[in-house]
Amino acid sequence: MITFKNVTKYYPTPQGRHYILKEVDLILPGDVNIGVFGANGSGKSTLMRLLAGVDFPNKGSIKVEGNVSWPLGLSGYQGSMTGRENAEFICRIYGKSKEEINEKIEFIKAFSELDNFFEMPLKSYSSGMRSKFSFAVSMAFDFDYYLIDELTAVGDKRFKEKCRETFDAKKGVANFLFVSHNLNELKRQCDIGIYIKEGKIHVHDSIDDAIAAYNSM
Amino acid sequence: MQARSPLKIQIAVLHALLIRELKTRFGSYRLGMAWAFIEPILQIAVFMGLFYFGGRDSVGGLELPLFLATGIAPFLYFQKVINQCMNAVTANTNLLIYRQVRVFDTFLTRFLLEAITSFIVLAGIITATWWLGYEVNFVNTLIFIYAYILLSILAFGLGLIFGTVNTLFPEIGKFIPTLLRPLMFISCTFFTINDLPSDAQSILLWNPLIHAFEFMRSSFSYDYNTSLLSLEYLEVWALMSLTLGLLVLRANWRRMLTS
């Protein structure tokens, strides 16, 4: 369950305050997968950061029940470090033991299909390799809530199939919050849809309604 | 997943960040850790050359290399802590996406790494001087360590302040290294306060770094003149700088997340 209590979030700009959220009171159920829409710059990523606890509202409070992931996307990695080093870093901050780290690293290496590139700095990766790597890292950890920020499955058909299977397996035990521009993807993965507009979060109880509302905007 | 205690998380994050800093700092150069030694040794060598032509081989009862090492190495340490802290946040912005990693951790990691490295370097240089046949007598190890700790606290506090300023106002931050550069020449890195005329002494003694370096030197000789120095003065500086640094960070760390 996600609870917003009188949440206001803005960014100061030279033209005054730019509001993302304005006095939002909202409860989102904890047992559904949520798709997040919105135009570029409407605050989807900010919303993810707020939920992940790495950014804070200017007013009010947000509570998320259970373990929340970090905003899973293409950022959050250090370009000068290798794939292995980046993966190890995340394992360490999650307090994994040596054996657990080895286990996760093996999983990530196998899943990402990077082979030798796993030992190369991330900045030498192509964008496709980067998404594969990010995807593998994201799926290596167990959370109650996965915040997925534009982390779309890339690669060949087989790799996409593998990603879909992993998603489905996680769905049984965890919930997802998706940010994506790919409406088909959202349609398949999500139960309800929300979008941010003019400082408010609009909720639609079915993903199809949400897509229809979004398209008519 | 089980909830971990805050202390456990803190230790895990520091460990992870330390390894990350080590990899990017020392890992990318073939000489790695040796660089940490090369810079102070080169500077000491240059000043030794100058003193040699000036015909002096000891200052205040300390042999020249030891005297220079206890001024130049700690000064470089002070400077490095501040330089490293200035970019602590910008260099780690990507990693602030994990809620375990807080802004303070990036500062603390860089400071700890510098404190440990520089202490090893200083101890290494002093050992090397002794090994080369110069006279090195420890007469008061505690004062040496205490002065080093006070210097560290002072540097870390200033690092927090300058780091915050540089992250939030990079334009102002650009001036900080320029302002700090002349400090080397007024901090008793290659001369002792006791050799100066009394007018100069009374002005320069406001500089807390002098008290740190001179007290460190006094730990090598019974005769080193410390009558002008005050440990309390250095303590007050260290305490004020750390307090102010932590306050400045506490008031601003959330703003640094999105800058």
Q: What is the pLDDT of residues B2-41, one digit of tens each?
A: 678 899 999 999 999 999 998 888 776 667 778 889 999 9
Distance CA A29, CA A51 (A): 14
A121 DSSP assignment: B
The fold of A1-69+143-217 is Rossmann fold (3.40.50)
| Cβ contact, residue pair A54, B96, below 8 Å | yes
Please give the sequence-ordered ranges of beta strands (E in DSSP) within A43-126, or none if there are none. 59-64
Q: Which residues pair with A179 in a beta bridge?
A: A36, A149
Nearest CA in chain A to B95: A76
Q: At CB < 8 Å, which residues of chain B contact A? A: 1, 4, 8-9, 12-13, 15-16, 19-20, 23-24, 28, 94-101, 254, 257-258
**Could you give the residue range(s) of every CATH 3.40.50.300 domain in chain A?**
1-69+143-217
| Cβ contact, residue pair A92, B16, below 8 Å | yes
pLDDT (tens digit, 9 = 90+) per residue, A74-102?
888 998 899 999 999 999 999 989 999 99
pLDDT (tens digit, 9 = 90+) per residue, B68-96?
999 999 999 999 999 999 999 999 999 99
Of A111-120, A146-155, B126-135, give the lowest mean pLDDT range: A146-155
Using CB atoms and an 8 Å cut-off, which of residues 156-215 of chain A contact chain B?
none
Q: Which residues of A touch B99 (CB under 8 A)?
A: 52-54, 68, 70
Residue of A169, A115, A161, A120 whose CA lies nearest to A140: A169
Q: Which residues pair with B126 in a beta bridge?
A: none
Compute CA A171 distance to the chain's CA centroid, rounded to the nearest angstrom. Answer: 14
Residue A140 neighbours by CB under 8 Å, 6+ apart: A87, A104, A107, A108, A111
A71 DSSP assignment: -
Residue of A181, A74, A59, A80 whose CA lies nearest to A124: A80
ipTM score: 0.90
Helices (DSSP H) in chain B: which residue ranges? 6-25, 34-54, 64-86, 88-92, 103-131, 141-168, 170-173, 175-180, 198-204, 208-218, 231-256
Q: Which residues of B touch A68 (CB under 8 A)?
A: 99
Give the mutation candidate from A50, A54, A150, A170 for the B interface (greatest B CB count, under 10 A).
A54
**Rg, C-alpha atoms of chain A:** 18
